Every structure is written in C-alpha cells, then in structure tokens.
C-alpha cells in the first residue's frame, strides 16, 4: 500500500542516497521468527566480493572496448556532484586500477 506522496524527491528516490531521500529503518523491520531457534534477515553483504566479477569482465575487454566503456560512463556523469563522482571512482579503482584511471581520463577529456 502506498503511504507517501508521489515521488517527492525525484533525484533521490533510492537508498542509499546523498540527497536526504528514503532510508531503511529498523522501525519497520519484521520481527525475527522463532522456528527452531531464532530466524532473522540474512545479510547478503557479509562475505561477498563485489569487485572480482566486474574485474574479470573488464580484463576480457580489448583496449577499444575499455575506452568506450570509460567514455560512456564519463558521459553519463555530466551534472553529477563531484563528491559522488569521487565515491564512484573509488569503486572503479577497487575493480581494477586501469578502470578507475580510464574513467578519470575520460572525465578530464570531456571537460
């Protein structure tokens, strides 16, 4: 059931966000269920590696594909606040240093 206004902050209607949009609240969490012991939510982030698969894909690309990827990403970042760009570049660096540096170079070329 909807209980909120129709898209009150269209630039930040996701979580996590940097513009005061919606955020997860433990207040609305379902209580753990007693099945055979206590059951609770599974933390899907625990023990997961978010960077090895994108790294493997990036390493499959030839130089032209890497340049197009970085250029497309840089083009999509037009108008994005610098602090968000810096945060995203840190993720690209964790995937592979060449990925982060490629997007940086494409961003610089687009200026």
The average pLDDT across 67-91 equals 96
CATH number for 43-111: choose from 1.20.1370.60, 3.40.50.360, 3.40.50.300, 3.55.40.20: 1.20.1370.60
Show the 3-state SS of the chain.
CCCCCCCCCHHHCCCCCCCCCCCCCHHHCCCCEECCCEECCCCCCCCCCCCHHHHHHHHHCCHHHHHHHHHHHHHHCCCCCHHHHHHHHHHHHHHCHHHHHHHHHHHHHHC
Q: Note the pLDDT of residue 8.
A: 61
Top pLDDT among 34 and 83 is at 83
- What is the domain partition of the chain in residue ranges? 43-111
Q: Note the pLDDT of residue 85.
A: 97
Residue 4 has pLDDT above 80, yes or no: no
pTM above 0.95, yes or no: no
| pLDDT bucket at 19, cuts 50 / 70 / 90 | confident
Q: Note the pLDDT of residue 51.
A: 95
Q: What is the pLDDT of residues 33-78, one digit of tens each?
A: 778 888 788 888 888 899 999 999 999 999 999 999 999 999 999 9
């Amino acid at each position: 059931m909807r209980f909120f206004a129709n898209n009150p902050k269209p630039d930040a209607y996701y979580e996590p966000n940097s513009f005061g949009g919606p955020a997860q609240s433990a207040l609305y969490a379902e209580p753990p269920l007693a099945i055979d012991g206590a059951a609770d939510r599974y933390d899907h982030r625990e023990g997961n590696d978010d960077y090895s698969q994108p790294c493997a894909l990036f390493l499959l690309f030839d130089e032209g594909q890497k340049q197009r990827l970085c250029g497309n990403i840089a083009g999509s970042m037009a108008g994005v606040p610098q602090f968000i760009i810096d945060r995203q570049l840190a993720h690209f660096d964790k995937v592979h240093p060449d990925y982060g540096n490629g997007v940086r170079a494409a961003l610089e070329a687009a200026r």
